[in-house]
Structure 1
Amino acid sequence: MDTAAIPSVAMVLAAGLGKRMRPLTNGRPKPLIPVRGRAMLDHALDRLAEAGVPTAVVNSHYLGGMIERHLADRLRERPAPAILHSPEAEPLETGGGVKHALPLLGTAPVYTINADIFWLDGPVPALKRLAGHWDAERMDALLLLMATTRAVGYDGPGDFHMDPLGGLSRRRQGEVAPFVFAGLQIVKPELFAADTPDGAFSTNLIWDRAAAAGRLHGLAHDGDWFHIGTPDGLAEAEALLARDGFQPEDR
Structure 2
Amino acid sequence: MTVQSAMILAAGLGTRMRPITETLPKPLVEVAGKPLIAYSLEALDRAGIGRVVVNVHHLAPLLIDWLARRAGAEILISDETEALLDSGGGVVKALPLLGSGPLILLNADTFWIEDHASGRDNLAEMVDRFDPESMDMLLMTARLDQATGHTGGGDFTPDSEGRLTRYRGTGDGVIYAGALVLHPRIFAGISEPKFSLNRCFDAAAAAGRLFGYAMRGHWLTVGTPEAIGEAEAAIAAYRGEHAGGESEAAP
TM-score (normalizing by structure 2): 0.90
Q: 1:141 to 1:157 in 2, by over 3 A?
A: same
Q: In the TM superposition, what whole-angstrom CA distance separates every residue of 1:27-73 from its partner, at most 9, and x where no partner exists?
A: 11111111111111111111111111110011111111111001011
- The answer (yes or no) to whether the contact 2:27–2:108 under 8 Å persists in 1 is yes
Q: 2:127 is matched with which residue: 121, 127, 131?
A: 131
Look up the SS of the partner of 1:25 in the other structure: helix
CA–CA distance in structure 2, aligned partners of residues 127 and 117 of structure 1: 14
For 1:161, give the aligned amino acid: T
Q: CA deviation at 1:242?
A: 3.3
The aligned runs of 1:71-150 (5 Å cut-off) are: 71-74=67-70, 78=71, 80-88=72-80, 89-122=82-115, 123=118, 124-150=120-146
Residue correspondences, number = 241
1:220 aligns with 2:207: no
CA–CA distance in structure 2, aligned partners of residues 179 and 136 of structure 1: 23
Q: 1:201 is matched with which residue: 187, 195, 202?
A: 195
CA–CA distance in structure 1, aligned partners of residues 170 and 132 of structure 2: 31
- The answer (yes or no) to whether the contact 1:6–1:128 under 8 Å persists in 2 is no
Partner of 2:26: 30
Q: Report the aligned-residue RMSD.
A: 1.9
Which residues of structure 1 form unaligned runs of 5+? Answer: none
Q: In the TM superposition, what whole-angstrom CA distance separates every residue of 1:79-108 from its partner, at most 9, and x where no partner exists?
A: x21111101121111101001111111110
1:179 aligns with 2:174: yes
Which residues of structure 2 form unaligned runs of 5+? Answer: none
CA–CA distance in structure 2, aligned partners of residues 50 and 105 of structure 1: 19
Q: 1:233 to 1:52 in 2, by over 3 A?
A: same
Partner of 1:153: 149
- The answer (yes or no) to whether the contact 2:8–2:108 under 8 Å persists in 1 is yes
Q: 1:30 to 1:204 in 2, by over 3 A?
A: same
Q: 1:219 to 1:248 in 2, by over 3 A?
A: closer
For 2:175, give the aligned amino acid: V
The aligned runs of 1:32-51 (5 Å cut-off) are: 32-51=28-47
CA–CA distance in structure 2, aligned partners of residues 118 and 11 of structure 1: 14
